[in-house]
């Protein structure tokens, strides 16, 4: 299933595989801490366990239409903690 992204996607700063919560960041902090800022089309999305089989992550593959920050790439994969796999759901609250 393909979905066109609306607006811009901000990649969050690197999160450890042990992420239990995600900090809430201002737009300015997201922009300054992001490696790339890209708009594009989602080509696929999937969930999976980390290498230690402790946490579930959701991965989204994006075909870029344009970059506002960072090096141009043919595909970008965004990974964020949380999702469902093997009948289990892992959610990560946002810390204010």
Taking only the tens place, the pLDDT of each residue in 22-52 is: 677 788 888 888 888 888 999 999 999 999 9
The pLDDT, as a whole number, for residue 22 is 63
> How confident is the model over 11-32, as a mean pLDDT?
65
* pLDDT recorded at residue 12: 43
Exposure string over 40-73, b if 16+ CB within 10 A, otherwise e: bebeeeeeebbeeeebbbbebebbbeebeeeeee
Q: What is the DSSP letter of 96?
A: -
Give domain limits for the chain: 3-86
């Amino acid at each position: 299933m393909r979905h066109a992204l609306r607006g811009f996607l901000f990649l969050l700063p690197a999160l450890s595989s042990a992420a239990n919560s995600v900090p809430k960041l201002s737009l300015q902090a997201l922009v300054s801490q992001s490696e790339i800022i890209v708009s594009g089309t989602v080509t696929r999305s999937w969930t999976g366990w980390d290498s230690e089989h402790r946490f579930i992550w959701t991965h989204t593959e994006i075909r870029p239409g344009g970059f506002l920050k960072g090096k141009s790439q043919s595909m970008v994969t965004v990974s964020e903690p949380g999702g469902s796999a093997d009948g289990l759901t892992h959610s990560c609250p946002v810390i204010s």
